[in-house]
Amino acid sequence: MTRDDVTPPSAPAYRPEGLDDAFTDGGDPRPADAGSGSLPALGLVGWLRWVWRQLTSMRVALLLLVLLAVAAVPGTMFPQRPQDPAAVAAYLTDNPSTGPWLDRLGFFDVYASVWFSAVYLLLFASLVGCIVPRTRVHAAALRGRPPRTPRRFGRFPAQGEGTSDDEPRVVVERAAAVLRRRRLGVPWFRADVHDEGAGTWSVSAERGYLRETGNLVFHLALLGLLVAMATGQMLHYRGQAIVVQGTGFANVQAAYDTFERGTAFDPADLEPFTLRLDEFESRFDPVTLQSRDFTAYVTVTEPGGEPVERTVKVNHPIVAGGAKVYLQGNGYAPAVTVRDASGEVAFSGAVPFLPQDAVYTSRGVVKVPDVADGQPQIGLVGFLLPTAQEPAPGLWRSVDPQPQDPLLVLSVWAGNLGLDTGVPQNVYRLDESRMEQAVDDDGDVVTLYVRPGQTVELPDGLGTLTFDELPRFVALDLRHDPSLAWVLTFSLLALAGLTASLFAPRRRLWVRAAPGQRRDEGPGAGTTVVTAAGLARGDDVGLQPELDRVLARVLGAPAPSHDATGLDTPQEGRT
């Protein structure tokens, strides 16, 4: 902020008449021409200085704020890679001409794009340039004294007057005492008494240093917030793991389905705790079938510790091994056994099927690579229906998310699963390129319907499939971010600073007592003329009432109600 650049909060047209806001005077140590927009003298240093002054001017800060808002908008209009990579891929397919260009320009990851980063980094550079000199000025102001009493009070937005029988000096000392009274342990006003000569005394007082302090705290906290968030980005890790009921999870990178980390986090630092899913409970609304409650009962064993039973719920993460563990998803993992043509067990285990809708119609793949020599590998693709119903012949669907009558509906593929091609595979999809679907003699696709406990023959003599039982699985997010406490601290500091900055009134009051010319105007009429004036930063509806209160105390009589400003009574509860 430069001095030249800042007007008091009221614009020329909006400013109380005839008053230059003394609060901005001397508010900035830099020369008045800063940021004036005139071209700089030649020379690299001069030029750099000019750029810096522009950057830290209030007008450029304003521009950058507006730019930041504008730059954030495209992120809601285009699919974003971190949130929804599939949608980005679909967009690129649908828009082959514009898509790649948008991609190159960062429109699919707006918040990590060069231009978005440039805007906020410039804004924060501007912030630093603005905050440092202001902090210095404010620190000096905190040590300074209230400005001397102005000669005339005529122009000030708040005024008051009265008379007293006491000597001017006594009146002024009393005023100073009233103003310096402590409130909540701190003096209400900082006040100085001045002897103005010729028997006239005055007191000048100022309060509300908290306002500027709050403003600085607010801006510094924003800076702290940015640093804390960036640190967190570097030190964090986050991974997702699917854990089937009755099985465990060990916190090593290989155990995660997805894992990402900040550049400064070493996966070797993962704390090797283990977590076992003992039981999973879900509740649904009986009529609408909407979910009502999910609870995972787990046993956590920290390195060198005893096993501890915990519960994880949506909205209620637990902390284990320095990481927060969230319950993000759940579903069924039918446990099946596949025997190959020779009758040997080729596969046995629980396979997570991913729920597709509110009634947990779940989709999944069972891959059976380890079959007897000479036999094709087997892939089983299809659905699990927790509560199966057949509304029309051959048409099955689920009517309830709870497993009232589970049914596996699978089609059978034989051939090469492609697991040894070296290309990482999605466990929830079957690569059908080297496989063939089993059909019956009429050429219709063979569909298997299996209930728990049942065993069915696979077509073409491939073997048998047994549906053993139906355990649940949970999808857990594990996240470690050591900066969280800092992020919260800086947010709350910003909030507190902002509140002080917006609501703590910054006021100056002056009271002058002079030997009066008026004499014997009747009983009680004093001989000392007392006048007062007040000035506030910005429009301040509480200024006049405060001046009246002070005057009333000084004079020991009801305050003369004198509304010099015509300002209205407070709104929004502000005093």
Partner 1 sequence: MSVAELSDLFVWSAATALTIALIAYSVDLARLTEAAQAARAAAREPVTVGGPSVAAATAPSGVTGGARGTRATGIARSTLVLGTLLLLVGIVLRGVAAGRSPTANMYEFTILGTFCALVALLVMQRRRPIAFVGVVVSGIAVLALVLALNTLHVQADAVQPALQRYWLVIHVGVAIIATGISTVAFATTVLQVLRDARDTGRSRLERPWSRLDGVRQAFHGARVTGPSFAWLEQVPDARRLEASSFRQHAVGFVLWTLTLIGGAIWAEEAWGRYWGWDPKEVGTFVAWVVYAAYLHARTTRGWAGRRAAYLVFVAYGVVLANFTVVNLYIPGNHSYSGL
Letters for 324-343 (x = contact with partner 1 by CB under 8 A, - = none) are x-x-x---------------
The smaller minimum CB distance to partner 1, of residues 44 and 73, is found at 73
CA 167, CA 546: separation in Å to the nearest integer?
Answer: 24
352 near 367, Cβ under 8 Å? no
What is the side-by-side strand order in the sheet with 335-340? 345-350, 335-340, 463-469, 455-458
426 is a contact residue toward partner 1 (CB under 8 A): no
Q: 509, exposed or middle or buried, with CB in 10 Å at 0-12, 13-18, 19+? A: buried
58 is a contact residue toward ligand HEM (CB under 6 A): yes
Segment near partner 1 (CB under 8 A); pick from 76-84, 142-150, 201-209, 552-560: 76-84
Letters for 123-142 (x = contact with ligand HEM by CB under 6 A, - = none) are x--xx--x------------
Q: Which of residues 59-98 bind ligand HEM (CB under 6 A)?
A: 61, 65
Letters for 283-322 (x = contact with partner 1 by CB under 8 A, - = none) are --x--x-xxxxx------------------xxxxx-----
10 is a contact residue toward partner 1 (CB under 8 A): yes
Number of residues that bind ligand HEM (CB under 6 A): 16
Q: How far apart are the first and last CA of the chain?
A: 28
Q: Return the one option of ligand HEM, partner 1, none that residue 542 interacts with (CB less than 5 to 8 A, by type).
A: none
Torsions phi, psi for 187 (to 5 deg): -60, 140
Q: State in angstroms the smallest separation of the CB of 546 from partner 1.
A: 17
Q: Which alpha helices (H) appear in 454-514, and where do they start and end?
A: 484-503
Q: Is the dihedral of CA 139, 140, 144, 146 positive or negative?
A: negative
Name residue 386's amino acid: P
The smaller minimum CB distance to ligand HEM, of residues 63 and 252, is found at 63
221 is a contact residue toward ligand HEM (CB under 6 A): no
Q: State in angstroms the smallest separation of the CB of 516 from ligand HEM.
A: 40
What is the side-by-side strand order in the sheet with 248-250? 248-250, 274-284, 291-301, 307-313
Q: Cβ–Cβ contacts within 10 Å for residue 158, how many?
A: 26
Q: Which of residues 38-57 bind ligand HEM (CB under 6 A)?
A: 56
CA 245, CA 314: separation in Å to the nearest integer?
Answer: 17
505 near 208, Cβ under 8 Å? yes
Alpha-carbon 408 to chain mean position: 43
Q: State in angstroms the smallest separation of the CB of 204 from ligand HEM.
A: 22
Q: Return the one option of ligand HEM, partner 1, none that residue 219 interacts with (CB less than 5 to 8 A, by type).
A: ligand HEM
Q: State in angstroms the smallest separation of the CB of 480 from partner 1.
A: 11
121 near 110, Cβ under 8 Å? no
Which residues does 23 contact at the CB level (< 8 Å), separation at least 6?
8, 506, 535, 537
Alpha-carbon 249 to chain mean position: 31
Q: Choose, by CB under 8 A, the member of 61, 318, 365, 511 that binds partner 1.
A: 61
Q: Choose, by CB under 8 A, the member of 30, 49, 397, 479 that binds partner 1.
A: 479
65 is a contact residue toward partner 1 (CB under 8 A): yes
258 is a contact residue toward partner 1 (CB under 8 A): no
Q: Could you list the residues that contact ligand HEM (CB under 6 A)?
A: 1, 9, 56, 58, 61, 65, 123, 126-127, 130, 215, 219, 222, 498, 501-502
